[in-house]
Amino acid sequence: HQMPIESKFLENMANALNAEIAMGNVSSEKDAADWLRYSYLFVRFFRTPQKFGITQQDFETDPTLEKKRREFVHEAATKLCNARLIRIDNNRNYNPTDLGRVAARFYVDWETAESFSKGLIQNMDDDRILALFGKAHEFSQLKSREDEQAELGQLMEDPQVCPVRVLGGTDNIYGKVAILLQVYLSRKFIEGFSLVSDCNYVLQNASRLFRALFEITMTRVTNMSEMSDRLLEWCKMIDQRLWQSQHVLRHFCYPPGSAASNKGGKSLDEGPKGGVLKEQIVKKLE
């Protein structure tokens, strides 16, 4: 017997609703309820009503389930409003905020956007910036494994690999994320296959999330210009895979495209083959 295909839309409705509101496609609770009719979730309402708490009486009194749709939409919109991604007026009209637009533009989870907005304060050090980045909801699926602790500990204690202090250590997910991001920037070899996989996942989200952090500071009215400048530097470091303290000529020490290729399986770099300049030459300039 085949298992029925269930909709997962209910779990991510807040993110989808925020995107629609930010684009201007949905401007009220009525619009959102109508928008829900075009989803597969609406089909499942009629196929498996008991799963969504829909009774026979609900069908008799409301054949199109508008009331139930409004309940689900209202719940998602309330989450967004409390997180300050949207504003809801007395007539249940929806208006996007700058934070909501940033979250929609960079595909940032609404919980991550709320966390970033609350956590961003002026004069944050790099270690606190990395800790805030590591606490993003996108990294909640990462795990701290026992067999990785030794290698993570060695990487964390090496100032050539992790020049920025790691808050939380290796036991916490946000500490692990901070270590892996610095390992990438330092072009250090990773031995564990699970760590390589986790590092690639961190890198897939790093540029996007740091751009979102930067844009959030740009929406603030006062006291965030220094933070904007620092976060922009982090965005450039991740995109260029160079520490800010390193000389710009270091680009020529590595083969092009090394950040994207992973032929060896154990490293985030291409291997022994280098670029047109030797590292020893560039080190003299730094």
Check residue 270 and give its pLDDT. Answer: 47
The encoded tokens of residue 235 equal: 């965005």
**Is 131 in the same domain as 81?**
no
User: Could you report the per-residue pLDDT of 20-33, keeping only the tens digit for each?
Assistant: 999 999 999 999 99
- Residue 227 exposed, middle or buried by CB count within 10 Å (0-12, 13-18, 19+): buried
- Residue 195 near residue 146, CB atoms below 8 Å: no
Q: Are residues 178 and 121 both part of a single domain?
A: yes
Residues of the chain below pLDDT 70: 1, 255-277, 280-286
Q: Total structural domains in the chain?
A: 3
CA distance 21 to 27: 6
Tokens of 125: 């050090």
Rounded CA gap, 190 and 1, in Å?
A: 44
Collapse the DSSP code of 28 into the 3-class scheme (helix H, G, I; strand E, B; otherwise coil) and give the result: strand
Per-residue model confidence as pLDDT tens digits over 2-52: 788 889 999 999 999 999 999 999 999 999 999 999 999 999 999 999 999
283 within some domain: yes
Q: pLDDT at position 277, please? A: 65
HEC secondary structure over 123-190: CCCHHHHHHHHHCCHHHCCCCCCHHHHHHHHHHHHCCCCCCCCCCCCCCCHHHHHHHHHHHHHHCCCC
Q: Give residue 160's domain range.
A: 110-241
Look at the block and give the residue holding tokens 């390193």. 246
The answer to whether 68 and 58 have CB atoms below 8 angstroms apart is yes
Look at residue 232 and tell me if it is in a domain: yes
The reply to whether 175 and 225 lie within a common domain is yes
**How far is the C-alpha of 235 from the C-alpha of 203, rounded, in Å?**
12
Q: What is the CA radius of gyration of the chain?
A: 23
Residue 229 and residue 122 share a domain: yes
Same domain as 230, residue 115? yes
Residue 105 lies in a domain: no
What does the alpha-carbon distance between residue 96 and residue 185 come to, in Å, rounded to a whole number?
36
Evaluate whether 175 touches 128 at the Cβ level (below 8 Å): no
Assess if residue 37 is contained within a domain: yes
